[in-house]
């Protein structure tokens, strides 16, 4: 088996995550799809690190995990704040700036 | 020619078996995550995808990252997601009707194009070198090698990321902090409001619910001296839910009493 096969899975997961971000309307599910995309990128990093035989890709994947954790913390805090004022976690309901 | 371009190495059969079992399962779970209606089911499927990825990391000689993936993602991040789901309401399943007309077909077509492009690119890419593998890089241990890189070449990025983490924690605290718009009324304020109100009826507190020989619970209103149910003796929440029972069946029948 070719290690590049992992890149196909990575590409598939990234695409599925992108569909989810566009199609779903629950803010929490959208966030989960973003996490899926970040994970897919991490898989690509790890695979490239292995193909090239140095660990720089793994270090970058590690940094991605830290940044993703930050993003989740702040994003979920924003969702909770929006939910508290609007009683809804749907991204379609937060459209006050449109009107 | 076409078959030479990605000739970057072969791995052993066990890994291929692992790949062909876990890979399709991970992709299916990811698809299900986008399709299912309830957010909790999405979260569980996403946890499965993350665990599969952790196994992939370990299979690819990234032992430390595999463990971190389980601890940070399936542990902390998914826990946080589930916590917020419980806070927002597990039952809040979104309606899957589209609000923007034609969004879904456009999204799927665009995603198919994008995914096809990515996959064909990977298929045609040439990396210009042969497959190396991590045997040499991991010779002194994966964690030791990663730590060596992290605290030498990437030490600046490491410091910046730590600052980012602290900022994010602070930001989350500020966002989650609930400002009171009006000051919380003290006990003294409440007492004053009771006695200076329009009537003194509530000054001594609200009446308790009815206690009857056949029924003793908070869902039956008490009876006033004139025989009518006292509406103030029932909690507004029970009234809104429609859980209030009529008090008439529990009333005493009129007793024929003789005056002597």
pLDDT tens per residue across all 260 residues of chain B: 344 434 444 556 888 899 999 999 999 999 999 999 888 899 999 999 999 999 999 999 899 999 999 999 998 999 999 998 888 876 665 666 667 778 888 989 999 999 999 989 888 877 666 777 788 888 888 899 999 999 999 999 999 999 999 999 999 988 888 777 888 889 998 888 888 878 777 777 777 887 777 777 788 888 887 777 888 888 888 888 777 888 777 776 666 666 65
Which of these, A51, A45, A41, A44, lies nearest to A17 by C-alpha position?
A41
**Is B118 near chain A, with CB under 8 Å?**
yes
**Pairwise CB contact (< 8 Å): B157 & A11:** no
Q: Do B118 and A15 touch (CB under 8 A)?
A: yes
- Taking the Cβ of residue B26 and every Cβ of chain A, the question of whether any pair is shorter than 8 Å is answered with yes
> Does an H or E element contain B124, and which?
helix B103-124
| pLDDT reported for residue B24 | 94
Residue B136 has a pLDDT of 81
As to burial, measured by CB atoms within 10 angstroms (0-12 exposed, 13-18 middle, 19+ buried), residue B102 is: exposed
The domain segmentation of chain A, as residue ranges, is: 1-84
Q: Does A36 touch chain B (CB under 8 A)?
A: yes
Q: What pLDDT is stored for residue B5 in this prediction?
A: 39
B225 φ, ψ to 5°? -55, -30
Structure tokens given for B254: 């009129």
Angle subtended at Cα B70 by Cα A10 and Cα B59, rounded to the nearest 5 degrees: 55
Q: How far is CA A72 from the centre of its chain?
A: 9
Task: Assess B170–A contact: CB distance below 8 Å, yes or no.
Answer: no
| For B128, nearest residue in chain A (alpha carbons) | A52
Residues of chain B contacting residue A70, judged by C-beta atoms under 8 Å apart: 164-165, 167-168
Q: Which of B27, B57, B99 sits opposite A12 (nearest CB)?
A: B27
List the beta bridge partners of residue A26: A90
The answer to whether A80 faces chain B, any CB pair under 8 Å, is: yes
Q: Does A86 touch chain B (CB under 8 A)?
A: no
A72 contact B CB<8A = yes
pLDDT given at position B97:
66
A1-84: CATH architecture: Orthogonal Bundle (1.10)
Q: Please name the residue of chain B whose CA is at the shortest distance from the CA of residue A5.
A: B19
The reply to whether B248 touches chain A by the CB within 8 Å rule is no
Distances (CA, A) of A9 to A20, B36, B122, B203, B254: 16, 21, 11, 70, 81
**What values do phi and psi take at B4, rounded to 5?**
-85, -25
Residue to substitute from A75, A76, A90, interface B, most B β-carbons within 10 A:
A76
Length of chain A equals 99
Residue B253 pLDDT: 67
A86/chain B closest Cα distance in angstroms: 11
* A16-43: pLDDT as tens digits: 999 999 988 888 999 999 999 999 999 9
Within 8 A of A23 by CB-CB distance, chain B residues are: 34, 103-104, 107
CB A63, CB B161: distance < 8 Å: yes
> Is B34's CB within 8 Å of A33's CB?
yes
Q: What is the pLDDT of residue B104?
A: 86
């Amino acid at each position: 088996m070719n290690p590049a096969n992992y890149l196909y899975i990575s590409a598939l997961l990234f695409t599925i995550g992108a569909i989810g971000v566009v199609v779903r309307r629950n803010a929490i599910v959208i966030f989960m799809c973003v996490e899926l995309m970040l994970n897919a990128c991490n898989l690509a990093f790890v695979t490239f690190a292995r193909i090239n035989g140095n660990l720089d890709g793994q270090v970058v994947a590690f940094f991605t995990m830290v940044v993703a954790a930050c993003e989740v913390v702040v994003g979920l805090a924003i969702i909770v704040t929006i939910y508290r004022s609007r009683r809804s976690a749907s991204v379609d309901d937060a459209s006050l700036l449109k009107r | 020619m076409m078959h030479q371009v990605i000739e970057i190495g072969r791995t052993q059969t066990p890994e291929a078996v692992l790949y062909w079992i876990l890979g399709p399962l991970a992709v299916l779970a990811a698809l299900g995550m986008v399709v299912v209606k309830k957010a909790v089911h999405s979260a569980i499927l996403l946890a499965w995808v993350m665990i599969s990825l952790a196994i992939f990391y370990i299979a690819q000689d990234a032992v430390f990252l595999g463990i971190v993936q389980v601890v940070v993602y399936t542990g902390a991040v998914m826990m946080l997601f589930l916590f917020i789901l419980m806070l927002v309401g597990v039952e809040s399943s979104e309606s899957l009707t589209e609000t923007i007309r034609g969004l879904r077909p456009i999204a799927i077509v665009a995603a198919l194009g994008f995914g096809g492009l990515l996959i064909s690119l990977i298929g045609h890419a040439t990396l210009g070198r042969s497959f190396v593998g991590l045997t040499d890089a991991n010779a002194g241990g994966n964690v030791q090698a990663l730590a060596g890189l992290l605290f030498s070449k990437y030490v600046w990025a490491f410091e910046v990321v730590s600052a980012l983490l602290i900022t994010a924690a602070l930001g989350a605290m500020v966002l989650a902090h609930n400002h009171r718009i009006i000051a919380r009324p003290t006990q003294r304020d409440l007492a004053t409001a009771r006695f200076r109100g329009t009537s003194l009826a509530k000054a001594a507190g609200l009446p308790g619910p009815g206690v009857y020989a056949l029924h003793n619970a908070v869902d039956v209103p008490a009876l006033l001296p004139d025989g009518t149910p006292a509406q103030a003796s029932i909690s507004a929440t029970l009234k809104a839910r429609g859980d209030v029972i009529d008090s008439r069946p529990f009333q005493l029948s009129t007793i024929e009493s003789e005056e002597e």
